[in-house]
Amino acid sequence: MGAIKLDAVDVMTEIPILKYNQNGSSIIQSLMQRIQRHWRAIVIAIPFLWLLLFFLAPFFIVAKISLAELAIASPPFTRMIEWTEGGILTVRIVFDNFRYILSDSLYFDTYVNSLKISVTSTFLCLLLGYPIAYAIVRSGPVARPILLLLIILPFWTSFLLRVYAWMGLLADQGTINNLLIAIGVIDEPIRMLYTEFAVYIGIVYTYMPFMILPLYANMEKLDGSLNEAAADLGSRPTNTFFKVTLPLTTPGIIAGSLLVFIPATGEYVIPDLLGGGNVQMIGRVLFNEFSRNSDWPVAAAVAIVLLVILVVPIIIFQHFQGKAAEAP
């Protein structure tokens, strides 16, 4: 019989590797078991962590700056918490920035003008976007992807380039005025650029897809047999629209309106380029306080007030919507 020869070096090197593999696999198995037991908590925790890092943390930083005073320093505001020479902790909170905003009519008028422009733009987007979304839903399977592509197509180009393109269209010697003069509609150029009209054009054009896409997603899920049943019962198309289609598309209207209203209220680029300084909106005032005046505390207070104006109505609406959903 042949003798079996074992190499002591091979035995000594293989045993630790085997133990390492067993320990590693056991750790992975226990980790996977924990994930399976707590997968719901992990899934919920991910968006909460995202909001904590990218919304709540910046919000508290801005809120802290809004409660400080302007100082000749870098950054240009006083500290909220300081240790004195005697080792005493002092907390200094100042509300003068909010008093200054409430007492100055410039900020009040700017907030009101921003809300007026954003509400009007939202209504115009809804007025134009609703029939477009409805037409896309009622279109055939061949035309529907093409129409959706046309809605999404502007996102493929830079937002700034699109605004500059509107400047060329609306200028006194721009394409629109030249075309109207060529066909004899007007004799001299109409002032469109650097007006509130140009700001409305820019906001409605820019945010129209944000209204159409939620409406389309909501309308696509509607049951077409409901309209047929209403027609069989003798309902006119207009009556069917206001009593059947419109109430069922309310979630899409609300979602699209919020997606347009919230960013339009704080818009800066469109009023600055198309308004040319003649249209005051809160985004431009915020930029001026932060960049040109270097008054970070006042700029932070302006941002906090703007956030309250936008968030509080949304919270109240969600509260009543939740109560309506719980009602039998």
Q: Do 157 and 21 belong together in one domain?
A: no
Q: Do 170 and 272 belong together in one domain?
A: yes
314 domain-assigned = no
How many CB atoms within 10 Å of residue 154? 14
Q: Do 152 and 241 belong together in one domain?
A: yes
Dist CA 285 CA 266 (whole Å): 10
Q: Do 191 and 279 belong together in one domain?
A: yes
Q: Do 108 and 68 belong together in one domain?
A: no
Check residue 34 and give its pLDDT.
72
Check residue 108 and give its pLDDT.
92
pTM of the model: 0.80
* The domain boundary residue, chosen from 66, 91, 116: 91
306 domain-assigned = no
| 3-class DSSP state of 237 | helix
46 domain-assigned = yes
268 domain-assigned = yes
Per-residue pLDDT tens listing for the chain (328 residues)? 444 444 444 444 444 544 445 555 677 777 677 777 777 777 788 888 888 888 888 889 999 999 988 888 788 888 887 777 777 777 888 888 999 998 988 899 999 999 999 999 999 999 999 999 999 998 988 999 999 999 999 889 889 999 999 999 999 998 999 999 999 888 899 999 999 999 999 999 999 999 999 999 999 988 877 777 877 777 888 888 888 888 889 889 988 999 999 999 999 999 999 998 888 899 989 888 888 888 899 999 999 999 888 887 778 777 766 765 665 5
Check residue 123 and give its pLDDT.
96
* The domain boundary residue, chosen from 91, 123, 146: 91
Q: Do 75 and 195 belong together in one domain?
A: no
Q: Do 145 and 30 belong together in one domain?
A: no
Provide the β-strand partners of residue 90.
82
Q: Do 87 and 161 belong together in one domain?
A: no
Q: Do 153 and 16 belong together in one domain?
A: no
328 domain-assigned = no
Residue keyed to tokens 């505390």 = 297
Owning domain of residue 118: 104-294
Q: Do 14 and 144 belong together in one domain?
A: no
Residue 75 backbone dihedrals phi, psi, to 5 degrees: -70, 160
66 domain-assigned = yes
Q: Do 133 and 261 belong together in one domain?
A: yes
Dist CA 250 CA 243 (whole Å): 12
327 domain-assigned = no
The domain total for the chain is 2
Task: Confirm if 39 and 260 have CB atoms less than 8 A apart.
Answer: no
Q: Do 220 and 198 belong together in one domain?
A: yes
Using omega within 30 degrees of 0 as the cis cutoff, is the peptide bond preceding 251 cis?
no
Dist CA 193 CA 274 (whole Å): 6
Residue 191 is part of a domain; what is its CATH number?
Answer: 1.10.3720.10
